[in-house]
Amino acid sequence: MPDAESVTDTITQERVRHLPPFKVVLHNDDVNTFEHVILAILKLTPLKEPEAIEKTIEAHETGQAVLLITNQERAELYVEQFASLSLTATCEPDE
């Protein structure tokens, strides 16, 4: 029979796996350059340069671009990190 600690660990792992997904959305602005936005995406996210360029263009052309999907806590951290670089990002549930 498993001990209480291993049962608790298993329950915790299950909860982590089932955290609801949140989108990190980058918003267009009229202030920042393409280069600044691309470099910020590269610095803060696991996206590679071609993806960062694509997302920057998408945000510019449509007003916003979903950068990635993660858990709520991490999504909120991304929003704060983008704000620290003078960029607007939001997070919302991925329905």
Residue listed under structure tokens 């340069």: 49
Where are the chain's structural domains? 19-93
Q: What pTM did the predictor assign?
A: 0.80
- Sign (positive or negative) of CA dihedral 82, 95, 60, 41: positive
Q: Which of 17, 32, 87, 84 is nearest to 67 (CA)?
A: 87
Tokens for 58, please give them.
Answer: 């998408």
Q: Which of 18, 20, 27, 19 is nearest to 66 (CA)?
A: 27
Interval 59-92: pLDDT, tens = 999 999 999 999 999 999 999 999 999 999 999 9
Residue 63's alpha-carbon distances to 28, 29, 87, in angstroms, are 5, 8, 13
First to last CA, the chain: 39
Q: Which CATH code is given to the segment(s) 19-93?
A: 3.30.1390.10
Q: Which has more confidence, 20 or 13? A: 20
